[in-house]
A and B are shown apart, each in its own frame.
Chain A
Amino acid sequence: MAAQHQPQHAAQRPIQQDWANREYVEVITCSIKKISDFLNSFDMSCRSRLATLNEKLTELERRVEYIEARITKGETLS
């Protein structure tokens, strides 16, 4: 990404170089931003799905509890 030709002012080179460097930094920043965005939506999506899973498990748990209560004590039925 470096300047390919020698500019007229030698002193102008750093500024020219700086543009290129900063663009490179922006590319990296941009990518980090994308990664963080991805992680955030991944987080949200996971939370949503985990919540659903949790709910299903809780439901099953409650059902098992209920059935357990139904059958264990049911034996005393005269």
Chain B
Amino acid sequence: MAAGEKITLTDALQNVDVLDELPLPDRQPCIEALNKSIHYQANFDTNFEDRNAYVFGVAKYIEQATIHADMNKLLEEGKEYAVMLFTWRCCSRALPQVKSNDQPNRTQIYQKIVEVLEPQVSKLVRFMHFQNRAISRFSEEVKRLCHKEKRNDFVSEAYLLTLGKFMNMFAELDELKNMKSSVRNDYAAYRRAAQFLRVLSDPVALQESQTLSINMATQNKIRDTLKEAMLQIPGYEELLADIVCLCLSMYETRMYLEPEEKYMLVKVMAFGLNLMDSTTSNIYKMDAKKRINISKIDKILKTLEIVPLYGDMQIAPYHYIKCSPNFDGSKWPLCERNEPSPQSNLLANLEAIREDHMEYISQLSRHSNEAITTMRDQPRSDIENKELFDLALKGLQLLSAWTQQVMELYSWKLLNPTDPHQNPDCPKDAEEYERATRYNYSSDEKFALIEVIAMIKGLQLLMARMESVFMDAIRRHIYQELQDFVQLFLRDPLRKAIKKKSDVIKGIIMAVRDTCVDWLRGVEPHDDPALRGKKDPDDGFFIKVPRRNVGPSSTQLYMVRTMLESLTAEKSGGKKTLRKDIDFSHLQTIDNFHKTSFFWNYLINFNETLFNCCDLSQLWYREFYLELTMGKRIQFPIEMSMPWVLTDHILETKEPSMMEYILYPLDLYNDSAHYALTKFCQQFLYDEVEAEVNLCFDQFVYKLSDQVFAYYKHLSGSIMLDKRFRSECASHGAKINYPTANRYQTLLKQRHVSILGRSIDLNRLIGQRINAALQKALDVAIARFEAGDITGIVELEGLLECNRLTHKLLSEYLTLNDYDAMLREANHNVSAPYGRITLHVFWELNYDFLPNYCYNAATNRFVKHDKLTFVTDAKREKAPNPSPHYIWGTKTLTTAYSTIYSLYTRFVGTPHFHSIVRLLGYQGIAVVIEELLKTIEGFLKGTTLEYVKMLMKVLPPTCKLLRFDYGSPGVLAYYNANLVDLIQYPDLRMEVFQSFREIGNAILFTVLLEQAMTQEEVCDLKHAAPFQNIIPKPHIPIKEGDNRKDKEAELKLFMKQLEKKYAALQVVSVIKKLGNQTQADIAAEGDLLTRERLCCGLSMFEIVLTRMKSFLTDALWHGEPPTNGVINIDKCTEFHRLWSAIQFVFCMPMRENEYTIEELFGEGLNWAGCSIIMLLGQQRRFEALDFCYHILKVNRVDMKDENVKGIQLKKMVDRIRKFQILNNQIFSVLNKYMKTTDAESMPVEHVRCFPPPIHQSLATTI
């Protein structure tokens, strides 16, 4: 829109209306209090500035309006002084003190003190003047009203109430002045300094200072002065009695709306009685004369034993009664009783409050739904308006009532602090404030407070949202009521007054009418018969009352109400009241109008009233208690602060039904901060609130996210736990609980929480912390693995799975980092090629698994020998000991899972290999295998080679295969004798076997790992198959007589159908159709990779064997080339000969109490030997020439059993047979893997054919 372009009002209004149609989605559940960035509040209260406009009104009341206006100004000023006193913080305590009289800089110090305190003291002087002014003004008013001539004059309710407000102000200021010793201290410090410097030299100032110090020092100065002034006025007690009676009747008929007003009424009653009771007048006599009603007041003062006086200062109103001169306890039976006041019992009212809340909310939602969903063509009818008006009023009353409940409980608790006796949790040295807040509420009371606060804040929000609808209805309703009243109803009384010629009544009614009438089109109906005292014509006198969307102005309303009140008042200036001249029915209607219109002002200022009714700011303020600590405390810690006490209570108890309320107690800080800025106008208070909020909110987020994480971890731990295990535990009496469902979701959806005007993304904050927690949990899982041996891999996998589930559950609400990325980070695997898991697996393989584990093919497991270890336990890092929610969720779950996984700790087998394959992945496995190969190389080129060298030396140079004729015992004895050096070689049974076992274990590890990997791959392929158009062929049986071709055609057709059916699943074709070229290419490549992974038949083990073969380069392994050019038969230079000798050693039966070789080293030993033999190509030679096999063969024939040099032949042969079978198995496995290479490396052409050997004798003969 160009600048300066004019738009019409209608256009502007239309533009505003259009705003409603813009969709403004906000997808977060509303669980926080009303917080607006812009708070718009229109205030049309003129404080009677426009009184002169109502020229038709009775002059007296216009005059009174002037007085009201003046008094209101004084009241405002009084409020400012109350704020000054309440928020006064001691300055003098912070000032340096002059310690001795001859201190050189004392003049300077004093000068500074005067300079600093001067502005403060001048405030005090102004305050003193104000006291005098206010008291004299009040006395003047009282004097005027108590004047003999005017004693019986009508005094309006508003007037009396303003006087009551004055009394309330005096009571407040007096108590504040009494309480604030810091004010006195500051003034004393100033005075000392001023006297020293002789600042106050002129007599007037000196006098003033004197008066001020007396004023400051005297307790109850204001009350006493006021009372003195009152006593000067004859009959003042009558007026005060009127005020007290008015307060009583307003209290009883609930003619108040805001909580403050209720307390004011109570305070005024008590304070008024105190003022009335004196040497000249006695309230008990007045009670006897029924002038006042003490028993009713007694009841009220008991129900409200303690009322908030100001901030955290509370007062027991009955205290005023007690210190009145003619106090008579017997007249106050209820107050004198010792039982606690009902205000201390919130729990008793809770159910009723809930019901009210429920009922009101449902009523409200009906209207709000209607307002939101429907567009109106025409304004609401009068009835609808009234309904909404009533609804608004009822809502405000409910809100106010609940706020009162909260404030009354809080007040009562403040003045009735707990002690270690009543509350065992309360420490003996607890501070006063702590005893009043932190320890003073039971868990139920805290929950009740939270709930009521939540209801207040929740309903406030709902009502504020409806404000426009309410306001429209309220204004229209009030207008209608008022205009109907003056234009229609008043005609009757007017007619009667004219008829009866009672001019006073006619005057007043006309005044009422003219003050506020708004005729249709501004024209009074012509010739109204009522104005002539005549009856209406038979067909009625019709007046159409207009409808407008506007209420009366505040002054207008005051005038109308006061004038109507004067009509119906008991008292009037004349001898008789006007009541007698008015019809009873008219009187009733007027009374009724007067009563209902009392609330109009509140409703016209709906927004302001709504906020006043829900103001809980004072729950935070503690100036009074800070004052009590005498400077020991600058501020109380958050643990004693009510908002945090309530918030923390939810967090600590984790009560699911309260969890969604958690932001409401935090909102109390908003209230307090708002109050500090707008009412107290004190920056330092705001700063303190802000500091506390900063602290609390951090705590809140910290505790909450910790809790949320623990909750979801617990949940996923519970989900993953084996069901049968759980039920088994339950049958043994150990219950493993699921977490109690909690409503964290709602909290997690909060993206803009308003606190102190800042908008906080709670979701993000919690997300950040949970990310960190999850990261830590992963780290803990890996660290736990690192602290144990390789068997821990199974538990590690489970733990990571549990974390993955937690991650999945939480990702529904929070944006977390990618799980795999997190795992990689925890695994230190982001930029390094191998992670912590891989490293630890390898470390464990090297330092524990290879040297200590024994393989057994029967169980396909490795086990550790119980008693004998060859390598002392590797030193591992200590396992971390974090709280249970970083592990399995809870202590019980951690125990349960530890029990389950303890089953996997005593062996290494299939489950472990599967876990290793899944956790390490191709890259990790490659690293591990590569490193294992290095280890093997180390052995084959180092230790083992050395041993082989040594052993070769002790091996006899030749060792024959003895002829059968020697018999098996002979053969055994022969080998035993020949190999004696080797048998007795000291390191053989330990070091040499150990080194072979390590090689063997490494080989076995690769075999088993590959097996596991293959299974995993097959699983993958099967999972992928449906998406790759791999459909299993359906079975179509071919019976006899069936045509094979037909059947095949049928099958083809069937397959085509199936392909068509599952076409939508095929990734490649779908992506080709829907995606772009790049995507299609990627999909095709991925598909190819998956398909062909196994097709080329790559085998890891084969590669390992080939690599191993390349390590066997040393000539020692191969031995000398045969001299006969064909084969070494008796010479012991080749490795297989050595192995035969070794085999001979371990085939020797053990003596008693000796461990067998299998027990000690497992089958790794045999695997190592066989593999080396096989790789050296000596398998056949070994099988043919082996010493043990020879013994076996011979023994098979002669079947002898003898003890040859301590060796039991039979046992030996049995062992040989066992190992032969094992060796054959090993060779067949190895050959299976090596077959392909065999075929390639040994093409047929290379085979040399030797003629069969010819015996020497024959050769020569030829």
Asked if B596 is at the interface (CB within 8 A of a chain A CB), the reply is no
- Digitize B23-53: 1 where CB-to-A-CB distance is under 8 Å, 0 elsewhere: 0111110000000111110101000000001
B751 touches A51 (CB 8 A): yes
Beyond A19-B550, A31-B13, is A54–B764 a contact (Cβ under 8 Å)? yes
Bound: A29/B468 CA distance, A: 11
Distance in angstroms from B809 CB to nearest chain A CB is: 18
Beyond A8-B524, A31-B13, A47-B759, is A26–B550 a contact (Cβ under 8 Å)? yes
B723-781 interface with A by 8 A CB criterion: 751-752, 759, 761, 763-764, 767
Smallest CB gap from A26: residue in B: B550
Distance in angstroms from A2 CB to nearest chain B CB is: 8
Give chain B residues whose Cβ lies under 8 Å from the Cβ of A33: 40, 42, 467-468, 471
| Chain B interface SS verdict (over half) | loop
A66 touches B830 (CB 8 A): yes
Bound: A72/B763 CA distance, A: 32
Beyond A30-B468, A78-B833, is A5–B521 a contact (Cβ under 8 Å)? yes
B752 touches A47 (CB 8 A): yes
Distance in angstroms from A74 CB to nearest chain B CB is: 6
Residue in A12, A25, A31, A43 whose CB lies within 8 Å of B37: A43
Bound: A77/B764 CA distance, A: 36
Q: Which of B37, B468, B550 has the most CB of A within 10 A?
A: B550
Bound: A5/B525 CA distance, A: 12
Smallest CB gap from B607: residue in A: A33
Bound: A4/B523 CA distance, A: 8
A55 touches B764 (CB 8 A): yes
A70 touches B13 (CB 8 A): no
- Digitize B499-522: 1 where CB-to-A-CB distance is under 8 Å, 0 elsewhere: 000000000000000111111011
Distance in angstroms from B482 CB to nearest chain A CB is: 11
A55 touches B815 (CB 8 A): yes
Smallest CB gap from A59: residue in B: B815
Give chain B residues whose Cβ lies under 8 Å from the Cβ of A58: 764, 815
B27 touches A4 (CB 8 A): no
B831 touches A35 (CB 8 A): no
- Digitize B1200-1215: 1 where CB-to-A-CB distance is under 8 Å, 0 elsewhere: 0000000000000000
Give chain B residues whose Cβ lies under 8 Å from the Cβ of A74: 831, 833
Distance in angstroms from A28 CB to nearest chain B CB is: 9
B40 touches A45 (CB 8 A): no
Give chain B residues whose Cβ lies under 8 Å from the Cβ of A42: 22, 24
A10-59 interface with B by 8 A CB criterion: 11-16, 18-19, 22-23, 25-27, 29-45, 47-49, 51-52, 54-56, 58-59
Bound: A15/B553 CA distance, A: 11
B13 touches A27 (CB 8 A): yes
Interface size on B, residues (CB 8 A): 59
Asked if B907 is at the interface (CB within 8 A of a chain A CB), the reply is no
Give chain B residues whose Cβ lies under 8 Å from the Cβ of A41: 24, 26
Residue in B16, B515, B831 whose CB lies within 8 Å of A34: B16
B28 touches A27 (CB 8 A): no
Asked if B843 is at the interface (CB within 8 A of a chain A CB), the reply is no
Distance in angstroms from B729 CB to nearest chain A CB is: 40
Distance in angstroms from A62 CB to nearest chain B CB is: 6
Interface size on A, residues (CB 8 A): 57
A48 touches B514 (CB 8 A): no
- Digitize B515-557: 1 where CB-to-A-CB distance is under 8 Å, 0 elsewhere: 1111101111000000000000000000000001110010000
Smallest CB gap from A19: residue in B: B518
Give chain B residues whose Cβ lies under 8 Å from the Cβ of A48: 25-28, 751-752
A51 touches B763 (CB 8 A): yes
A51 touches B24 (CB 8 A): no
A3 touches B13 (CB 8 A): no
Distance in angstroms from B372 CB to nearest chain A CB is: 12
Bound: A48/B752 CA distance, A: 6
Residue in A7, A23, A37, A40 whose CB lies within 8 Å of B523: A7
Residue in B56, B516, B522, B548 whose CB lies within 8 Å of A4: B522
Asked if B181 is at the interface (CB within 8 A of a chain A CB), the reply is no
A23 touches B550 (CB 8 A): yes
A77 touches B519 (CB 8 A): no
B516 touches A15 (CB 8 A): yes
Asked if B475 is at the interface (CB within 8 A of a chain A CB), the reply is yes
Q: Which of A14, A29, A59, A66 has the most CB of B within 10 A?
A: A66
- Digitize B899-927: 1 where CB-to-A-CB distance is under 8 Å, 0 elsewhere: 00000000000000000000000000000
Asked if B1020 is at the interface (CB within 8 A of a chain A CB), the reply is no
Give chain A residues whose Cβ lies under 8 Å from the Cβ of B522: 3-5, 7, 13, 16
Beyond A47-B752, A51-B761, is A35–B16 a contact (Cβ under 8 Å)? yes
Give chain B residues whose Cβ lies under 8 Å from the Cβ of A62: 817
B830 touches A51 (CB 8 A): no
Distance in angstroms from A18 CB to nearest chain B CB is: 7
A9 touches B832 (CB 8 A): no
Residue in A19, A39, A45 whose CB lies within 8 Å of B548: A19
Give chain B residues whose Cβ lies under 8 Å from the Cβ of A66: 817-818, 821, 825, 830
Smallest CB gap from A63: residue in B: B818
Bound: A33/B12 CA distance, A: 14
Give chain A residues whose Cβ lies under 8 Å from the Cβ of B197: none
B549 touches A27 (CB 8 A): yes
Asked if B7 is at the interface (CB within 8 A of a chain A CB), the reply is no
Give chain A residues whose Cβ lies under 8 Å from the Cβ of B764: 51, 54-55, 58
Residue in A3, A23, A47 whose CB lies within 8 Å of B751: A47
Give chain A residues whose Cβ lies under 8 Å from the Cβ of B13: 27, 31
Bound: A69/B821 CA distance, A: 11
Asked if B54 is at the interface (CB within 8 A of a chain A CB), the reply is yes
Beyond A15-B53, A16-B522, A45-B25, is A39–B37 a contact (Cβ under 8 Å)? yes
Beyond A18-B553, A47-B752, A48-B752, is A23–B831 a contact (Cβ under 8 Å)? no
Distance in angstroms from B468 CB to nearest chain A CB is: 6
Give chain B residues whose Cβ lies under 8 Å from the Cβ of A35: 16, 19
B514 touches A51 (CB 8 A): no
Bound: A56/B516 CA distance, A: 61
Asked if B990 is at the interface (CB within 8 A of a chain A CB), the reply is no
- Digitize B402-437: 1 where CB-to-A-CB distance is under 8 Å, 0 elsewhere: 000000000000000000000000000000000000
Asked if B648 is at the interface (CB within 8 A of a chain A CB), the reply is no
Beyond A35-B19, A55-B764, A59-B815, is A73–B37 a contact (Cβ under 8 Å)? no
Bound: A63/B819 CA distance, A: 11
Asked if B472 is at the interface (CB within 8 A of a chain A CB), the reply is yes
B818 touches A30 (CB 8 A): no
Smallest CB gap from A55: residue in B: B815
- Digitize B791-815: 1 where CB-to-A-CB distance is under 8 Å, 0 elsewhere: 0000000000000000000000001
Asked if B55 is at the interface (CB within 8 A of a chain A CB), the reply is yes
B763 touches A55 (CB 8 A): yes
Distance in angstroms from A27 CB to nearest chain B CB is: 7
Distance in angstroms from A67 CB to nearest chain B CB is: 9
B16 touches A51 (CB 8 A): no
Residue in B12, B19, B471, B751 whose CB lies within 8 Å of A30: B471
Give chain A residues whose Cβ lies under 8 Å from the Cβ of B832: 73
Residue in B38, B39, B53, B524 whose CB lies within 8 Å of A14: B53
Residue in B519, B751, B831, B833 whose CB lies within 8 Å of A72: B831
Bound: A72/B832 CA distance, A: 11
Smallest CB gap from B24: residue in A: A45
Bound: A6/B752 CA distance, A: 57
Bound: A25/B553 CA distance, A: 12
Beyond A9-B514, A73-B831, is A30–B55 a contact (Cβ under 8 Å)? no
A23 touches B549 (CB 8 A): yes
Distance in angstroms from A29 CB to nearest chain B CB is: 5
20 contacts between A and B (CB under 8 A): A3-B523, A5-B521, A8-B524, A15-B54, A15-B514, A23-B549, A23-B550, A25-B550, A32-B42, A33-B468, A33-B471, A35-B16, A44-B752, A48-B752, A55-B761, A62-B817, A63-B821, A66-B817, A72-B831, A74-B833
A-B pairs with lowest CB-CB distance, top 6: A3-B522, A73-B831, A45-B24, A51-B751, A36-B40, A47-B752
**9 additional contacts (CB under 8 A) given A40-B36, A48-B25:** A7-B519, A15-B53, A19-B550, A23-B548, A30-B472, A34-B20, A51-B763, A62-B817, A70-B830
